[in-house]
């Protein structure tokens, strides 16, 4: 397979996650650590009680979710990407020829879904809304179940993307976003209340 397939699939699968990392995480070392190590240490907990914490719970939720998403995506995709650089014919024995592109698309969806699920889940825990937690778990199972329909890609990829868009909207609103904020964003006006990540 060609280098074009490799780069194309790599960028599809990891592009958004990588840009999220660059633009929102790379500048703050604490966030990088949470991304990799995944949980708050005692120091963080102690400090967030005292004064303005270096990192809020929402940021932690977002970063942890993104970390999970990147790791899950990397584990799913990295061997496939490496194989795409080598010789071979896709779908030689009657399998689908869209294997690489659908893998990349599913990986992207899963990465973003993990991010949104992280935000929503933490929010649900914070506000003690247990139905949110159950809903997140069920949605995760639904998405994984949909992937069982592969190679029938019509049945798996579009529904997963629909779910991802719904989750994006849910995460946006649960992390404090609102239509008002969006309109401010589009009209480039500053406001007092900022949309959290």
Partner 1 sequence: MNTSDSEEDSYNERTALVASEIPFVPSYQDQAQPTDMEPKRRHPVAPEQPVEPPILDRSAVEREPVIQDDEEELTLKYGAKHVIMLFVPVTLCMVVVVATIKSVSFYTEKNGQQLIYTPFTEDTDTVGERLLNSVLNTIIMISVIVFMTIFLVVLYKYRCYKFIHGWLILSSLMLLFWFSFMYLGEVFKTYNVAMDYPTVAMIIWNFGAVGMICIHWKGPLQLQQAYLIVISALMALVFIKYLPEWSAWVILGAISIYDLVAVLSPKGPLRMLVETAQERNEPIFPALIYSSAMIWMVGMANPARNADRASQDTDEEGYQGESDALARDRAEPETQVSPGMNRSYSTEEELDEEDRGVKLGLGDFIFYSVLVGKAAATGGDWNTTLACFVAILIGLCLTLLLLAIFKKALPALPISITFGLVFYFSTDNLVRPFMDNLAAHQFYI
List residues binding partner 1 (CB under 8 A): 29-30, 32-33, 36-37, 41, 43-44, 46-47, 50-51, 54, 71-72, 74-76, 78-80, 82, 99, 102-103, 106-107, 110, 143-144, 147-148, 150-151
User: Minimal distance in Å, beta carbon 103 to partner 1?
Assistant: 6
Closer residue to partner 1 in complex, CB, 66/123:
66
C-alpha dist (Å) from residue 69 to 63, 112, 184: 10, 7, 29
Cβ-proximal residues to 32 (8 Å cutoff; 6+ apart), any chain: 25, 26
Phi and psi (nearest 5°) for 196? Answer: -80, 170
Please give the Cα distance from 178 to 197 (Å, whole number): 12
Closer residue to partner 1 in complex, CB, 16/177:
16
User: Minimal distance in Å, beta carbon 179 to partner 1?
Assistant: 32
Closer residue to partner 1 in complex, CB, 20/110:
110
**Buried b / exposed e across 46-78, counting CB within 10 Å, b at 16+?**
eebeeeebebeebbbbbbbbbbbbbeebbebbe
User: Minimal distance in Å, beta carbon 110 to partner 1?
Assistant: 6
User: Minimal distance in Å, beta carbon 144 to partner 1?
Assistant: 5
């Amino acid at each position: 397979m060609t280098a074009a397939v490799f780069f194309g699939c790599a960028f599809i699968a990891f592009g958004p996650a990588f840009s999220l990392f660059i633009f929102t995480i790379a500048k703050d070392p604490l966030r990088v650590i949470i991304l990799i190590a995944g949980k708050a240490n005692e120091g963080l907990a102690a400090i967030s009680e005292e004064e303005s914490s270096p990192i809020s719970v929402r940021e932690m939720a977002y970063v942890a979710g993104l970390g999970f998403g990147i790791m899950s995506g990397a584990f799913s995709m990295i061997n496939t990407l490496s194989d795409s650089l080598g010789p071979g014919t896709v779908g030689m024995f009657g399998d689908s020829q869209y294997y690489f592109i659908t893998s990349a698309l599913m990986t992207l969806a899963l990465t973003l879904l993990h991010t949104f699920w992280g935000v929503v889940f933490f929010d649900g825990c914070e506000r003690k809304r247990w139905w949110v937690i159950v809903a997140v778990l069920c949605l995760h199972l639904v998405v994984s179940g949909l992937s069982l329909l592969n190679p029938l890609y019509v049945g798996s990829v579009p529904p997963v993307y629909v779910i991802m868009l719904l989750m994006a909207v849910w995460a946006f609103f649960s992390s404090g976003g609102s239509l008002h904020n969006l309109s401010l964003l589009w009209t480039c006006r500053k406001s007092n209340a900022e949309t959290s990540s």
